[in-house]
Homo-oligomer: A and B are copies of this chain.
Amino acid sequence: MIFVISGIVYFWYTATKLGMSKCEHCIVRQFNSLNTLTREELVRVSACKTGRVVKKGDIIFREGEALNGIYCIREGVCKLTKLSENGKDQVVKLSVKGGMMGQRSLVSNECSNLTAVALNDMQICFIPKQEILDDLQKNVNFSMDLLKRMAQDLRDADDSLVDMAQKTVKQRLAETLLYVKNKFDNDADGYLALTLSRDDYASIVGTATESAIRILSQFKKEGIISTKGKQIKIEDEQALKRVE
């Protein structure tokens, strides 16, 4: 008898982990376009979506792959990268809890131009394209919200481009540290709550791993940051903002 109960509990636990709980009750949707769906639309979407647990380092989808739907991030963080001709990956964006991925493939019907890799353990939901495309056509709120978010993404992309073109590696790295601080905050010990490898930092900034390490070392010497293994603590935020 005890086993049966255990079995049920385990099933419920797995189901929850796999994102099979209902969209209507999921709080993360308030951060994305799904929030514009009506209750009926949401129930229908919920019925056809699938959940998935992704471990740190796992690839969610690859550049060039056909995405037959969109992903909604329930928990965790991932990086969206693009392979350059020189063989190095460039991080284009970080996607976090509440974020969606694959909207572009949804509207343009093309393969993904980016690869998504989990930076920590994640829970994501997948909504098949045919289910959501219909809503896009019929629910003006939904399409308008998507338009707004894409417009914002384009602004962000412009900003990134200008930074990449006009700022030094040191400035970009300082900005990245501030970005991580603002977006993910500190943990209980004051270290950045999102821990990235030096290699990830280099790939975000668009530089060689050694260069990123060197500059972090310099920041450390100057007392701007301190480190404990991979972890980084910002000691002097103002100094980071002043980096030239």
Contact = CB atoms under 8 A, between A and B. Distances in A.
Interface of A: 82, 84-86, 88, 90, 92, 103-104, 107-108, 110, 113-114, 136-138, 140, 143-144, 146-148, 150-155, 157-167, 205-206
27 contacts: A84-B162, A84-B166, A85-B166, A85-B167, A86-B166, A86-B167, A88-B166, A90-B161, A90-B162, A90-B166, A92-B161, A92-B162, A104-B154, A108-B155, A113-B159, A114-B158, A137-B144, A138-B140, A143-B143, A147-B150, A153-B154, A157-B157, A157-B158, A160-B161, A164-B164, A164-B165, A164-B206
B108 A158 contact: no
A157 B136 CA distance: 24
Contacts of A164: 161, 164-165, 206
Contacts of A85: 166-167
A154 to B, nearest CB: 6
A146 B146 CA distance: 11
Which among A152, A160, A166 has the highest number of chain B CB atoms within 10 Å?
Answer: A166
A114 to B, nearest CB: 7
Given A107-B151, A152-B108, A82 B143 contact: no
Question: Which of A103, A108, A136, A205 has most B Cβ within 10 Å?
Answer: A108
A166 B81 CA distance: 13
A216 to B, nearest CB: 18
A159 B92 CA distance: 9
Given A82-B158, A85-B166, A150-B154, 7 more contacts: A84-B162, A90-B161, A103-B151, A107-B148, A110-B155, A113-B158, A113-B159
A94 to B, nearest CB: 14
Nearest to A157: B157
B144 A146 contact: no
A162 B107 contact: no
